[in-house]
Amino acid sequence: MATTTTDLFSRWGQIGTRPGASMTIAPNTGRQARFQEQMDVINRRSGQRGTDIRGGAQRRSEAISAKLGRIGMGNTTVGNTLQAGVTRDMEAELRREADTQQGARLGVLGQRTGFIEAEDARREEAERRTQTARIQAEAQIKATKISTAPAMARERVRAKIHRMGGAIRQSRLFS
């Protein structure tokens, strides 16, 4: 079964695309909208670049096939070897392009992560302030209880002495 140029290159139609590449974030803030726009630009550029690489490889493959046909070597192993070389070159270019894209995406995500980390730091600071205020309020309540405790204790002691005094008077031990 002979492999045609179309069959050969249709297998590589998805090289350079990665699953989950289209990240969608609700553009409810300006920063998120800018982030989404940057990711869309990278995705459009990568799609066009992958198409250019595949188109160039297909043109090289067709040129090789035509040249081999003209010199009478179209159905030889030389043709298959040259086609395999074109395919390897295309794959290498697509991998380099995918790595470049990934670097660009990571750069954008790094900016986004910096923003997220700053938001997390702000959130943690607000939470820390809330926690500090809660601790201070509890400390103030305890301090109030402590400051009123001696007065309350004195009242309890007086009441106890008074009760005891009443009991002592009633027993007439000290008459």
For the chain, the residue count is: 175
The pLDDT score that the predictor gives to residue 54 is 92
pLDDT per 10-residue tile (average), the chain, 175 residues = 50 48 53 81 84 92 89 83 89 89 80 69 82 81 68 73 61 51
Predicted local confidence at residue 57, as pLDDT:
92
Q: What is the CA radius of gyration of the chain?
A: 41
Pairwise CA distance, residues 7 & 13, whole Å? 10
User: Which residue do the tokens 């405790």 mark?
Assistant: 149
Question: Measured between alpha carbons, how far is 123 from 69 in angstroms, rounded to an integer?
Answer: 69
pLDDT of residue 170: 53
